[in-house]
Structure 1
Amino acid sequence: MPPSLAGRPLLLGLAGLVFVAALSLGPVLDALGAQDDIALARERLARAQAASAGPPSVPPLSAMDEAGLVAAFRARLDALAAERVAVVDGAGLQPDPARPTLPRLTASLRGSAEGLHGLLQALETGSPLIVPEEAEIGIERPADPEIGRATVMRLTLTVRGVLLPAPAVRTTP
């Protein structure tokens, strides 16, 4: 056999081995990719389980329309003021053109420093969740120790409410 023909079976065998290795490399790479996907899915599952094990989130103050939002805000303030030394003088709504679904709600309250502080704390921790955007407190009437009159404070409060979208109307064909 000539020397050039003697090496052909070896080259053919090596080419076959390279071909088989290339074919088997695809499934190996797929398996490694699947292993990464499984690890990522396990991480997401662990985060979801940790989130579900925590305390439930408190829903924000919300209503379907502006009048309902002001009424819900006023009712919440009245309920909290009744438990404390505080009085709600008024509550209103200021539309925000930049954020139409998050209008500003304003309120004016009077009471003792402790009563107003407790009311603010209850707003921020109770349900529905109401987080003050602005709060200004000042003295409405100073104390008069001669007649035993306590200091009356005024709180002007601005918070955000949430206007919920109208439910979709279903039509049956």
Structure 2
Amino acid sequence: MIGPIAGRIGRPGATILAAGLVLAGLLSAGQVVGGLLDARAEIAEARARLGHLQAAAGRPPPAAPLSGGDEAALLGAFRARLDALASGRALVIDGARVEADPGSPTLPRLHAQMRGTAEALHGLLAALEAGPPLVVVEAAEIGIARPADAVEERPTALRLDLTARGAVLPAADAPR
């Protein structure tokens, strides 16, 4: 017994109809599988973003930059930071000054001149860039201030000309 549809369209028509239904089922299954693959890729991407966010949340917050309310306060903070780092090290701070930068009025240049041993100057530079408040060193020129003297047992004294950046922050009560 062929059935009512097969009786009307014949056996070849019923075969074609069955093949069309199977093909339609496969296409819809393909869309479902494609949708599942797309969802799987989106889940993997979301997990990767979550991993990055969790790693960022686990890191300590970045150190605040060296800043002041105006250039004089910034220079005072810079000099205080240098003096604090120089204590206990074999170095002398010869001077420090601030230079306005017309291109970046809130990020003036800070200059310092120092003399000391290689170890002392290296330690000061490492501490400037690592500890709070953060000082961004732009240039450091090192030269010999005084050669070593074996008779007097004096090490080589180096000269360091340092250029860094500081931040001038507006006062908390100033209008923006």
Query: Is the shorter-chain TM-score for this pair beyond 0.5, marking a shared fold?
Result: yes
Structure 2 residues without counterparts, runs of 5 or longer: 1-40
Question: CA-to-partner distance for each residue in 1:53-102, whole Å, 9 max, x for gaps?
Answer: 11221111111111111111101111111121111111100100001011
Question: Contact 2:117 / 2:156 at 8 angstroms: preserved in 1?
Answer: yes
Structure 1 residues without counterparts, runs of 5 or longer: 1-35
Give 2:5's aligned residue: none
1:166 aligns with 2:157: no
1:48 aligns with 2:53: yes
Instruction: Report the Cα offset of residue 47 of structure 1.
Output: 3.6
Instruction: Report the Cα offset of residue 40 of structure 1.
Output: 7.6
Structure 1 pair 106/169, CA: closer, same or farther in 2 (3 Å)?
closer
Give 2:131's aligned residue: 126
Counterparts of 1:37 and 1:101 in 2: how far apart (Å)? 42
Counterparts of 2:174 and 2:105 in 1: how far apart (Å)? 22
Greater Cα shift, 113-122 or 139-148: 139-148
Greater Cα shift, 101-110 or 52-61: 52-61
- For this pair of structures, how many residues does the alignment match? 170
Structure 1 pair 44/112, CA: closer, same or farther in 2 (3 Å)?
same
Greater Cα shift, 42-51 or 125-134: 42-51
Counterparts of 2:51 and 2:147 in 1: how far apart (Å)? 56
1:74 aligns with 2:92: no
Give 2:116's aligned residue: 111
The percent of aligned pairs where both chains have the same amino acid is 59
Instruction: Report the Cα offset of residue 169 of structure 1.
Output: 4.8
Counterparts of 1:41 and 1:79 in 2: how far apart (Å)? 46
The two structures have a TM-score, normalised by structure 2, of 0.70
Aligned-residue CA RMSD (Å):
3.8
Query: 1:133 aligns to what SS in structure 2?
Result: strand
Query: 1:121 aligns to what SS in structure 2?
Result: helix
Counterparts of 1:169 and 1:149 in 2: how far apart (Å)? 53
Q: 1:15-94 to 2 correspondence within 5 Å?
A: 45-94=50-99
**Moved runs in structure 1, 4+ residues, more than 4 A?**
36-46
Counterparts of 1:121 and 1:169 in 2: how far apart (Å)? 35
